[in-house]
Structure 1
Amino acid sequence: MRNNAVVTTSAADQHPVPAHPRPRLIATDLDGTLLRDDKSVSPRTVAALAAAEEAGIEVFFVTGRPARWMDVVSDHVHGHGLAICGNGAAVVDLHGGPGQHRFVKLRSMQRETALDVIQVLRAAVPGTSFAIERTGGICHELAYPPLHMDPIITIAPVEKLLAEDFDLADQPVLKLLAHHGELTPDEFLTLARTAVGPRAEVTRSSPTALLEISAAGVSKASTLALCCAERGIRAEEVVAFGDMPNDVEMLSWAGRGYAMGNAHPDVIAAAWGRTVANNDDGVAVIIEQLIAEALA
């Protein structure tokens, strides 16, 4: 377990923070982290993000969301405007606003790997249904429960969706989604990780039994590390925020990883520190402190 320095909104309650290099990059999850539960970005958080970039600190949105769900933060990008989407499967340029997002890096899953993972999970966890997330949208099996945010392209058996002659076969597979209607989220995650093994990365960010499966070695942390290396930014110069199991590796990798006050227990255990909940602007609280330290 990390040090778990606790940060609250009251300065009198704050624990001393060990010395760190001046931060050069802030990496923040969205749902349950930067966003409030109503999916809004608070005025305080908007101001904190702008102040960070004004102070020379880059900001990366790092999320399990696909690129098409990034409109919620498109109005709040500054500087580079890059986001890591799909749990590390894609890096997207958010400049240009809704509908104008551009993929700049893809870390896709091979169709053979996807079919292998599906076969293994079906055998190990009967009752699992699947969806395929591609660069152009999502397709799923009939048994898979669709999300209201998604315009569905095709509903068909997953073998058809991954066939070499499928209409969308030229679009890279970013991740698989696996759903189970009876297991708890953590039970499903444990069973799936055991069954899939090193074939792929299995994680979750939903409060339901919905798993997100990426190519082996692809995660928020590994793609963030690639982006930082390209910029000459060291892990210890990164401050990260998250709340769910798909954030664990990123918070462990960053020099300072903060669990939200509403975070999953595994995230709290992996984090260096803890801030207040997303509805209390926990990310903004830390950014304000970081800027104050940098200007001191």
Structure 2
Amino acid sequence: MSTPPAPALIATDLDGTLLQRSDTVSPRSRAALARAAAGGARHVVVTGRPVPHVRHLLLELDYRGLAVCGQGAQVYDADTHAMVSSLTLDRELADVALGKIEAEVGEVFAAVNQDGTDGLMLFEPGYQSPHPTLPAVRVSGRSELWAEPINKVLMRHPHLSDDALAAAAGGAAEGLVTVTMAGPGTVELQPLGVTKASGLALAAGCLAVRPADTIAFGDMPNDIPMFHWAGHGVAMANAHPELKAVADEITTSNEDDGVAAVLERLFD
């Protein structure tokens, strides 16, 4: 493994990457990010979570930069508390995509993230969240999921694994939506062509930073496009095998401060 030069931009996923248990960032990781900032690097959070589910974390981190949220559909300015960009998923198209997926694999249970800085998360009957601490509203039927503009759909299957569901959904809904597997129990539908890479590219353009000068950290298949875009991709030890296969480097786990371990080496 060759050691990359100190990057101008550090892109970090949150869950399973920068965050430890209970949605916390360790003192070591905070110190490593502060050292990188003192060395001139910018930090961009790149997360599947929508803005309403990430703002409290950004406040706790005293984070003042751009954040890529909603799997790339949202670019949020944490300093001004405003959206730089927000893309929505056509709700009629999302309903059609779910129908095609169910024709392939049987019934799935769905949830949506509404658009905007204060958008709600809605669960249809039967949907069980892998993050039960996140605020959500349970509705009485699927039609209510489409009441307001959304940026993504989350779905779960009663029997299929996440990998199997993502693969089947990708085939059934090809050309309609982007399908990602973002974490345990988290298979998602986004606007076609929207990925973490597209959102990161927009944020990096605002900061005038090139892909070659970017290092990206992640743990799940939804981070693959970001790794392809960035000059150097670092997978956590706890990462999904598909991400490890395309990583330039594998660090220690999120619980063992894997992000900090790399940054300490680069900004010694």
Under a length normalisation based on structure 1, what TM-score does the superposition of the two structures give? 0.83
Q: Which of 11, 15, 23 is 1:27 aligned to?
A: 11
Distance in 2, Cα, partners of 1:103 & 1:230: 13
Matched residue, 2:96: 116
SS in 2 for 1:249: helix
Matched residue, 1:155: 139
Contact 2:125 2:138 in 1 (8 A): no
- Give the aligned residue type for 1:131: A
Listed one character per residue, the Cα deviations across residues 48-68 of structure 1 (whole Å, up to 9, x for unaligned) are 111222221110111111222
Contact 1:77 1:94 in 2 (8 A): no
Q: Which of 213, 230, 255 is 1:254 aligned to?
A: 230
Residue 262 of structure 1, CA deviation: 1.0
Identity %: 38
Q: Which of 113, 123, 126 is 1:133 aligned to?
A: 113
Residue 154 of structure 1, CA deviation: 4.7
Residue 158 of structure 1, CA deviation: 1.8
Residue 161 of structure 1, CA deviation: 2.6
- Give the aligned residue type for 2:150: V
Matched residue, 1:10: none
Distance in 2, Cα, partners of 1:152 & 1:63: 18
Matched residue, 1:213: 189
Distance in 1, Cα, partners of 2:179 & 2:267: 35
Q: How does 1:8-157 map to 2 (within 5 A)?
A: 16-17=2-3, 20=5, 22-70=6-54, 71-78=56-63, 80-95=64-79, 101-135=81-115, 136-146=119-129, 147-157=131-141
Distance in 1, Cα, partners of 2:193 & 2:261: 32
Distance in 1, Cα, partners of 2:83 & 2:20: 26
- Give the aligned residue type for 2:97: V
Contact 2:120 2:137 in 1 (8 A): yes
Distance in 2, Cα, partners of 1:221 & 1:49: 21
Contact 1:61 1:83 in 2 (8 A): yes
SS in 2 for 1:48: helix
Contact 1:248 1:270 in 2 (8 A): yes
SS in 2 for 1:72: helix
Contact 1:252 1:272 in 2 (8 A): no
Under a length normalisation based on structure 2, what TM-score does the superposition of the two structures give? 0.92
Count of paired positions: 263
Matched residue, 1:200: 177
Matched residue, 1:223: 199
CA distance 1:105–1:123, shift in 2 (3 Å): same
Residue 123 of structure 1, CA deviation: 1.2
Contact 1:132 1:177 in 2 (8 A): yes
Contact 1:77 1:95 in 2 (8 A): no
Q: Which of 205, 219, 244 is 1:268 aligned to?
A: 244
SS in 2 for 1:50: helix
Q: Which runs of 5+ in 2 are unaligned?
A: none
SS in 1 for 2:76: strand
Alpha-carbon RMSD: 1.7
Contact 1:60 1:83 in 2 (8 A): yes
The answer to whether 1:177 aligns with 2:154 is yes
Distance in 1, Cα, partners of 2:25 & 2:48: 17
